[in-house]
Structure 1
Amino acid sequence: MKNSTSLPLSYSEKQQKTNGLAQLYINLLNEFKNKQTGYATIAIIAQSCIGSAAAMLLLMSNLHDLSKMTLLFFVTILCMGYNAAVLAQLKSKTTFNILLVSLLFSCSIIIANLL
């Protein structure tokens, strides 16, 4: 460390730098847990709209039919999975994780088809 030109970071500074995204996830999860009924209702509407936009863009795309239907299957299953998790009243963390996966997958399909 004698010839090092960088400043040594304390443990808390290292932890704070590496856990920025994890801290955001924890904050969002805690907020979702506190007001789960309201957020779950709003999220059903939002992820259903985003999922339907992804399905529409998939059906309009020039992909091969098998790959188009496979992606459409995954969009539909993930959207239905979140709706089922809310109706089954699964744990907040499980429901929130399914919501994130559904939204990320649908948004990636939308972005991929728009490019």
Structure 2
Amino acid sequence: MTLYNKYLKIFEKSFYLYISFGILLSSCVGGVAAMLVLMNGSGPLEMFELFLITCVAMGYNTAVLADLKPKITYNILLGSVGVSLLIILLNIF
């Protein structure tokens, strides 16, 4: 069993617990990423990064509100946190 499948099973088992945790995680990591982007300026590249962060964070919230299947919601959560972490790393260095 891969690490992905292991955590997907855990996510599916306690779906309603983890969607609220996911909203907090996605929003907080997205907020940190947005703060770091805006600390670097407000040019077109920074505004595109801010747009991207907002879209992926709201994408997870939309998946939760639309009551999508747990696997789809989990994948969107991973994508949201992954994109936000990538932008954090790009703006730190």
Fold equivalence (TM over 0.5): yes
Mapping 1:42-61, distance limit 5 Å: 42-61=21-40
SS across alignment from 1:89: coil
- TM-score between both structures, scaled by the size of structure 1: 0.77
Q: In the alignment, residue 80 of structure 2 is paired with which amino acid?
A: S
Unaligned runs of 5+ in 2: none
Q: How does 1:81-96 map to 2 (within 5 A)?
A: 81-96=59-74
- Residue 75 of structure 2, aligned match among 73, 97, 102: 97
- Counterpart among 12, 15, 20 of residue 41 in structure 1: 20
The CA distance in 1 between the partners of 2:60 and 2:20, in whole Å, is 11
**Counterpart Cα distance in 1 of 2:76 and 2:91:** 23
TM-score, reference length from structure 2: 0.94
The structure whose Rg is larger is 1
Aligned-residue identity in percent: 43
Alignment length (residue pairs): 93
When the two chains are superposed, the root-mean-square deviation of aligned CA atoms in Å is: 1.3
* SS class of match (2:2): helix
- The AA in structure 1 aligned to 2:63 is A
**Aligned: 1:76 with 2:76:** no
Q: Runs of 4 or more off by more than 4 Å in structure 1? A: none
Q: Which amino acid aligns with 1:94?
A: I
Q: Secondary structure at the match of 1:41?
A: helix
Q: Please list the CA deviations of residues 57-87 of structure 1 after superposition, one character each: whole Å capped at 9, or x if unmatched.
A: 001114x711111111110000000001011
* Aligned counterpart, 1:5: none
Greater relative contact order, per chain length (Cα 8 Å cut-off, separation 6+):
2
What is aligned with 1:110?
A: 88
Per residue, is there more helix in 1 or in 2? 2
